Structure 1
Amino acid sequence: MSSLFPALTAAPAGRVALRFGDRALTYAELAAATGALAARIADKGRVAVWATPALETAVAVVAALEAGIAAVPLNPKSGEKELGHILSDSAPSLVLAAPGDELPAPVSDLARVDVDVRSAAPATSAAPTVHRPDAQATEADPALIVYTSGTTGPPKGAVIPRRAITATLDALADAWQWTGDDVLVHGLPLFHVHGLVLGILGPLRRGGSVRHLGRFTTEGVARELNDGATMVFGVPTMYHRIAQALPEEPELAKALGRARLLVSGSAALPVHDHERITAATGQRVVERYGMTETLMNTSVRSDGEPRAGTVGVPLPGVELRLVEEDGTPITSYDGETVGEIQVRGPNLFTEYLNRPDATAAAFTADGWFRTGDMAVRDPDGYVRIVGRKATDLIKSGGYKIGAGEIENALLEHPGVREAAVTGEPDADLGERIVAWVVPADPQSPPSAAELADHVAHRLAPHKRPRTVHYLTALPRNDMGKIMKRALAHD
């Protein structure tokens, strides 16, 4: 029996495990396909996976985990230079890909194994008997090597141990009351922990089902919810599109109203979008907080108080603290004092591959991981993230200001469609607040003075933007996160 996926041998006969479009595998079929592939690659060491949003990617990753070896998901949109760095750094022995996938250089230079999801399908619905090498794998063994975005240099490979996957998925099962009866729908990429670990491995560990849309559409979400799906995973850009579509799509509102759980992550969901979705559907979107190196740290619980703008409380097994710039822990939870989030627990990565210097710098002497995220904490323990230390903490006029709350305030203005906030040097203030705005009507954008007054009225005068830039779109990465370093150098 698989230690990570007991349902591969224990799920009810005929239960669908994975569905991508019109292609699906039952648990018995998945067990046969992954077992056969695991037997082929068990002695190959580390393997790369060409991580397209397809059935083959899910089978490939599960097979690697079943074989007790580490998988390196490759983003199909990465350029040659980035792919070359990842492959030279991780040194996989081969690449797993769907038959017919055209692999660019340098990926095409690797030995290739095509993933045939049907070749080992059993004749009956009974689970096959297949030797699964992962029975000998330990909790500390690497499961995945996921490369970070590389905003401050070449991407670093975060080595994620098997225990981190089980700890995170089991903690989320507790927080979300996630069971084998749940059917998840999402359209997230499969080279990142949100789409792959939570969105694919999560349902498989629970013994439930996942339906991947291939590409996110509001129509696809509504169709799957109307056909029995119970959970939706998405990023803020997806929920923003949902919020915008709701007034014109009453059937979408009805479908979302049937969901058991709507989850947003990878970046903060603006409060304005929370409110629009709740008003139209009666549903609250649950936010959670995690990152590549830590998997999941906190979440609003499904049985807890929904609170827009927060990422909830620490998950079971996760220790979380806020610290001052000098590392002193912040002991009072007042909802105002900004500090850096540090975490400790079984959900953490082991190391940055081949980077002992970066690994050492990422941890405190007593074993806390420095996330680089800034937050405040309410008296009852709820965490509210205000931004990244490097790009979202603005020191202006003696105040420490989080960009996130200003962005939320700007988004409440009817003339603003999208907004980002950064700081730039100022001789008088230290840093001045700069707003980057995509207006709702490009022909008639709100003036800088109007936006400054709007923020000052909602928050405080010292939090108003001193400069406003107007854009047609904000630069975003594949997960929908705003790339603020690109703004700062625009």
Structure 2
Amino acid sequence: MPYGPPLLLASLNPNAIAAGADIPDAVTIDDATLSRSDLLGAATSVAERIARADRVAVLAEPTVRTVLAVVGCLIAGVTVVPVPPDSGAAELEHILRDSGAQAWLGAAPEGTELPVVPVRLHARSWHTYPEPDPASTAFILYTSGTTGAPKGVMLSRGAIAAGLDALAEAWDWTWKDTLVHGLPLFHVHGLILGLLGPLRVGSPVIHTGKPTPEAYAAAGGSLYFGVPTVWSRIVEQPELARQLGKARLLVSGSAPLPVPVFEKLAELTGQPPVERYGMSETMITLSTRADGERRPGWVGTPVSGVETRLRDESGAPVPHDGESIGALQVRGPMLFDGYLNRPEATAADWTEDGWFRTGDVAVIDADDFHRIVGRESIDLIKSGGYRIGAGEIETALLGHPAVAEVAVVGLPDDDLGQRIVAFVVPREGGSAELGAELIAHVGAQVSAHKRPREVRFVDTLPRNAMGKVQKKLLG
């Protein structure tokens, strides 16, 4: 029988595999390697057991069983609800109740009340399923919940395909690559890009379990994904970093890459990293290109099919002059279908003329290059009548040799509205003298009104699983 429309996971076409399009190392994870035919046979066996379900929860540990669970659901057309393995009791209960997941597929937390469907590593089935409707929901991804209970982001198969194809074009990503990463499998970066991407373009993927410098250097890939904390640790071990110079592309995302890390990585590996921008609701909409300019602190231009614009507080256009800050709005074929059970929240995030409000603020230059200033709610500081981006101050501070990490926020101030406060992780130790030196350092690089009014030294910055600083916890 014909297999139907083009597959979301194009490299797992049963007809092609039967005709010999197999590779022995399609997925390597958890010290186990699956060939393309192993993956298809085992995942199809999973599909047979859950084909009548609507939604299932997958405890997204970095294991072969997680891979088979996700791929099995995609074969059967069952919606996947990835659950972070470290979810607290309240978060876990909310995700299961809100999503309406009918069972756990694979591993499950202790004491669960839902039925558990096992994933058998050695079971095989060669039944063929028609490709589900591209408009059907493939995943419900839950946001980090920084402004309330996590919201379920509904991503369709068609949106995922459009997003992955746009990245393959921008990064010249083909079956000849080997992707390496050690990112969590419950977000867009590690799961959609890092697992489904290779299965769509046909490139092998090596998941390192944890994204350590040693594991990345030993993997021998051509394409690497990492978050800024990963790249920061890699450049601190120059000999390991130099081994990545054999790779074709180093990609950083999920949070801004500090300019000093960008420059050090470029120095050690011989190539500047690719930076890109996206979120659960939009997947990746902006990126620097494999064949284009890579500018530290900037996330490039819109990928294929994407349009962007900037708006001020009144809704008026903001000029693309590389300096003026505006709220970033996007539209394109890889955007989500709304928040599950949240019609009001969904409607609030879209303009009347069909643009998605990202909640981020940015600047765009005359060449359509984008720089993300940060979240409108926490990174746009309004102090003394000025609109100031926290990212610019953070970049200046990271250029000082005494600063290991930094987060800049605006705290309430009776006189200024907000005062600029820098939370600094020092490389050795903090002092009043160093605080004054850092303020002067910023003042020498940017306008005087952008200098921090206060520097607070801390041991660590609060981060989530993807390495993003949780600024709402600072203050």
**Does the TM-score normalized on the shorter chain lie above 0.5?**
yes
2:122 alignment partner in structure 1: 118
Which residue, 47, 61, 66 being the options, matches 1:57? Answer: 66
Structure-1 residue corresponding to 2:89 = 80
2:444 aligns with 457
Matched, 1:155 2:150: yes
User: Given the alignment of the two structures, is residue 275 of structure 1 paired with residue 263 of structure 2, yes or no?
Assistant: yes
CA deviation vs aligned residue, 1:308-366 (integer Å, no higher than 9, x gap): 11110001011111111122222x31110000111111111101100111011111111
Residues of 2 paired with 1:55 and 1:290: CA distance? 27
> How far apart, in 2, do the equivalents of 1:269 and 1:32 lie?
40
1:132 matched to 2:141? The reply is: no
1:206 to 192, 201, 207: 201
Q: Which deviates the most, 441-450 or 287-296?
A: 441-450
Q: Which of these residues, 405, 408, 417, is aligned with residue 430 of structure 1?
A: 417
CA contact (8 A) 2:301 2:370 kept: yes
Conserved 8 A contact 1:333-1:377: yes
Gaps of 5+ in 1: 121-127
* Secondary structure at the counterpart of residue 16 of structure 1: coil
Cα distance change on mapping 1:119 and 1:445 into 2, 3 Å: farther
Secondary structure in structure 2 of the residue aligned to 1:109: coil
Q: In structure 1, which of residues 286, 289, 311 is the aligned counterpart of residue 274 of structure 2?
A: 286
The answer to whether structure 1 residue 367 and structure 2 residue 343 are counterparts is: no
1:446–1:238 Cα change, 3 Å: farther
One of 95, 106, 109 as aligned partner of 1:103:
109
Deviation at 1:445, TM superposition (A): 7.6
1:131 partner letter: T
List per-residue Cα deviations over 1:174-227 (Å, max 9, x = no partner): 0000001110110100011110000000001011111001111101000012xx
TM-score by length of 2: 0.96
Q: Kindly state the Cα deviation for residue 22 of structure 1 after the two structures are TM-superposed.
A: 2.5
Structure 1 residue 40, shift from structure 2 partner: 1.6
Q: Does structure 2 conserve the Cα–Cα contact (< 8 Å) formed by 1:169 and 1:202? A: yes
Cα deviation code 1:432-453 (max 9, x no counterpart):
1000001110266862221111
Query: What do residues 401-442 of structure 1 show as CA deviations (whole Å, max 9, x unaligned)?
Result: 110111111011011111000001222222110000011102
1:333 is matched with 320
Aligned pair partner of 1:178 in 173, 178, 181: 173
Q: Distance in 2 between matches of 1:189 and 1:6?
A: 23
2:242 is aligned to 254
Q: 1:353 aligns with which of 337, 340, 364?
A: 340
Q: Is the Cα contact below 8 Å between 1:439 and 1:446 reproduced in 2?
A: no
| Aligned Cα root-mean-square deviation (Å) | 1.4
2:223, 2:250 within 8 Å by CA — same for their partners in 1? yes
Q: CA deviation at 1:21?
A: 4.0
1:212 corresponds to which letter in structure 2? H
The answer to whether the Cα contact below 8 Å between 1:256 and 1:283 also exists between their aligned partners in 2 is no
Partner residue, 1:405: 392
Contact between 2:213 and 2:241, CA under 8 Å: does it hold in 1?
Answer: no
Q: Distance in 2 between matches of 1:253 and 1:292?
A: 29
Change (3 A) 1:466 1:87: same
1:220 corresponds to which residue?
215
For 1:56, give the aligned amino acid: R
Q: State the alpha-carbon separation in 1 of the partners of residues 34 and 202 from structure 2.
A: 13
The total of aligned residue pairs comes to 466
Distance in 2, matches of 1:191 and 1:146, equals 7
Once residues 344 and 418 of structure 2 are traced to their aligned partners in structure 1, the CA distance between those partners, rounded to angstroms, is 31
Q: Structure 1 residues 452 and 78 mapped into 2: Cα distance closer, same or farther (>3 Å)?
A: same
Q: Equivalent residue for 1:7?
A: 11
Q: Which amino acid in 2 is paired with 1:437? A: V
Distance in 2 separating the partners of 1:461 and 1:448? 16
Where do 5+ consecutive residues of structure 2 fail to align? none
Which digits, 9 at most, give the CA deviation of each residue in 1:55-100, with x for residues without a partner?
Answer: 11111111111111210000110111111011111111111124xx
Query: Match of 1:458, SS?
Result: coil
Alignment deviations for residues 277-329 of structure 1 (CA, whole Å, 9 cap, x no partner): 11122111111100001111110010011111111000101111111112222
Report Cα offsets for 1:105-148 as digits up to 9, x if no partner.
Answer: 4xx2111111112211xxxxxxx742224x2x222110100000
Match of 2:444, SS?
helix
Determine helix, strand or coil for the equivalent of 2:26.
Answer: strand
- 1:466 is aligned to 2:453: yes
The answer to whether structure 1 residue 18 and structure 2 residue 6 are counterparts is: no
Q: Does 1:142 align with 2:137?
A: yes
Change (3 A) 1:426 1:97: same
**2:252 maps to 1:264:** yes
Q: Which stretch shifts more, 442-451 or 181-190? A: 442-451
CA offset at residue 13 of structure 1? 2.5
CA contact (8 A) 2:153 2:340 kept: yes
- Out of 212, 215, 225, the position equivalent to 1:233 is 225
Residue 160 of structure 2 corresponds to residue 165 of structure 1: yes
Query: CA offset at residue 254 of structure 1?
Result: 2.9
Aligned to 1:124: none
**Matches of 1:183 and 1:444 in 2, distance apart?**
47
Partner Cα separation in structure 2 for residue 191 and residue 163 of structure 1: 19
Larger mean Cα displacement after TM superposition, 421-430 or 213-222: 421-430
**Residue 30 (structure 1) aligns with:** 39
Counterpart CA distance in 2 for 1:67 and 1:442 is 56
* 272-281 vs 1-10, which moves further: 1-10
CA distance in 1, matches of 2:433, 2:91: 40
Pick one of 354, 358, 383 that aligns with 1:396: 383
Q: Is the 8 A contact 1:181 1:208 kept in 2?
A: yes
Q: Is the Cα–Cα contact under 8 Å of residues 226 and 252 in structure 2 kept in the other structure?
A: yes
State the one-letter code of the partner of 1:455: V
CA contact 2:184–2:191 (8 Å) conserved in 1: yes
